[in-house]
């Protein structure tokens, strides 16, 4: 479900007040703030666990951790609109996210834009999509205005699924994934943040222009990167056994890793959405575009 947006090139701030962005030391948050930093009409605040790693921009920077309620309230005081980039996956992420949503409420934030996941649901095939649904529910229950950006897997990241021998290994079969360029997610987020009122209550599903099998991803990414990449299908049982032996990870992490592939196999991420173009005014990047962009 989507709400109509105005192309990024035609939007302007609409009473956005102070705008805070989290995750600014990461790839997505960094892209968003660089898109917004040259707009003198936006009062931009960066939130980071380590301010020394934040982008070197002439703007306000505050220390913030999702699980620290008091620090969150202090960092968000005076903020009207918040881009909440989801935290790194962890066993405690649901609690951390709910704590930060509570901090936003207590600090007086009016609107949260949250980076969720495509198909977020309590029974999502990709197990971390269940965490995102939990956060969406916390935001809905908070009484704050909201916009949800439900991203698919990142096109930029898929080639990095390959091991040192160039093998992408997992139980994805012939399933397809409409993965999205991280730059397109950033473009959508920036457009929404420039005029949050126009996107109030919207849920956008952000995908690329086509759904690819992992065999196609390997062949096409390898051609661009000059690397021999290939996909090897696994059974679910072998996927668990190999990863458990290699990494000794906890069960929740193993579930997340393996369900990355089974969600693709089962078709949960195959739908191509028009929302990137609807919000930004430009079509989403292809795999080749994504891997050749500077």
pTM for the whole structure: 0.92
State the pLDDT at residue 239. 97
pLDDT tens track for 158-176: 999 999 999 999 999 999 9
Looking at residues 13-35, what average pLDDT do you find? 85
Contact 192, 136 (CB under 8 A): no
At residue 38, the pLDDT reads 83
Q: pLDDT grade, residue 152 (50/70/90)? A: very high
Taking each helix axis from N to C terminus, what angle separates 236-247 and 251-265, rounded to the nearest 10 degrees? 150
Give the model's pLDDT for residue 164.
Answer: 94
Question: Which run of H or E residues covers position 198?
Answer: none
Tokens of 112: 């949260």
pLDDT band with cut points at 50, 70 and 90 for residue 39: confident
Token pair of 227 as six digits? 């690397």
Candidates 68, 16, 15, 64; CA nearest to 44 is 16
Torsion, Cα 100 106 108 113, to 10 degrees, reads: 20
Write down the pLDDT at residue 99. 98
Tell me the domain boundaries of the chain.
17-153+181-207+272-289
CATH assignment of 17-153+181-207+272-289, among 3.40.50.720, 3.40.50.300, 3.50.50.100, 3.40.50.11260: 3.40.50.720
Cα–Cα distance between 214 and 152 in angstroms, integer? Answer: 14
pLDDT beyond 50 at 210: yes
More confident residue, 17 or 142: 142
Query: In the structure, what pLDDT confidence band is assigned to residue 294 with cuts at 50, 70 and 90?
Result: low
How sure is the predictor about 17, in pLDDT bands with cuts at 50, 70 and 90?
Answer: confident
């Amino acid at each position: 479900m989507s709400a109509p947006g105005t192309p990024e090139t035609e939007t302007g701030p609409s009473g956005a007040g102070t705008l805070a962005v989290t995750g600014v030391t990461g790839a997505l948050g960094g892209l968003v703030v660089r898109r917004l930093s040259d707009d003198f009409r936006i009062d931009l605040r960066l939130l980071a666990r380590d301010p020394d790693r934040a982008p070197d921009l002439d703007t306000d920077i505050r220390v913030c951790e999702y699980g620290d309620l008091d620090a969150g309230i202090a960092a968000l005081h005076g903020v009207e609109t918040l881009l909440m980039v989801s935290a790194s996956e962890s066993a405690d992420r649901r609690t951390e996210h709910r704590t930060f949503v509570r901090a936003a409420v207590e600090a007086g934030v009016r609107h949260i834009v949250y980076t969720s996941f495509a198909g977020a649901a309590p029974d999502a095939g990709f197990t971390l999509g269940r965490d995102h649904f939990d956060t969406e529910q916390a935001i809905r229950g908070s009484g704050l205005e909201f916009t949800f950006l439900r991203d698919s897997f990142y096109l930029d990241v898929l080639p990095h699924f390959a091991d040192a021998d160039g093998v992408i290994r997992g139980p994805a079969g012939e399933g397809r994934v409409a993965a999205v360029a991280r730059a397109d997610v950033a473009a959508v987020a920036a457009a929404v943040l420039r005029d949050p009122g126009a996107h109030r209550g919207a849920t956008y599903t952000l995908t690329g222009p086509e759904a690819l099998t992992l065999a196609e991803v390997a062949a096409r990414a390898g051609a661009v990167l000059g690397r021999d990449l290939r996909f090897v299908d696994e059974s679910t049982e072998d996927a668990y056994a190999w990863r458990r032996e290699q990494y000794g990870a906890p069960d929740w992490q193993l579930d997340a890793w393996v369900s990355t592939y089974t969600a693709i196999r089962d078709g949960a991420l195959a739908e191509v959405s028009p929302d990137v173009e609807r919000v930004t005014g430009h079509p989403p990047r292809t795999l080749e575009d994504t891997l050749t962009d500077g």
